[in-house]
Amino acid sequence: MTTVIFACVHNAGRSQMSAAFFNAVADPAKARAVSAGTQPGERVHPEVLETMREVGIDLAGVKPRKLTAELAHGATWLVTMGCGDECPVVPGIRREDWPLEDPKGKPAARVREIRDDARARVAAFVEENGWGRSAG
């Protein structure tokens, strides 16, 4: 079982979207995603909740959480969200950085573009690592 951590600073937008898309398309017997942040916010951004609901993913019950050593223990990948020097680092695991814009406070049309970019990146990441669901 591979664990992928999607992380940003506040864990209230990009990392939440990416982890939700990952868990929707990856085979749960092969891989799972969690999301976290270095300075978690109070809640997932309302504009993120709304645009994710448009594609059938409800994040209303999700709370941002802190990236801790305990949460990172056993993870294989850390995917950061283009947060520069503020991006978290977890020693000893593979890291990839996706330069996704922070959706906080952006108009709905821009948040949809960020959401769709995250979804495309997740789909490619799952495909290239062989974590997709088998056709059955």
pTM over cut 0.75: yes
pLDDT at 136 over 60: no
**29-45 pLDDT, tens digit each:** 999 999 999 999 999 99
Which CATH architecture describes the domain 2-128? 3-Layer(aba) Sandwich (3.40)
Beta-bridged to residue 94, according to DSSP, are 77
Domain extents for the chain?
2-128
Q: Which among 91, 127, 123 has a CA at the least distance from the CA of 17?
A: 123
**55-96 pLDDT, tens digit each:** 999 999 999 999 999 999 999 999 999 877 777 778 889 999
pLDDT at 135 over 80: no
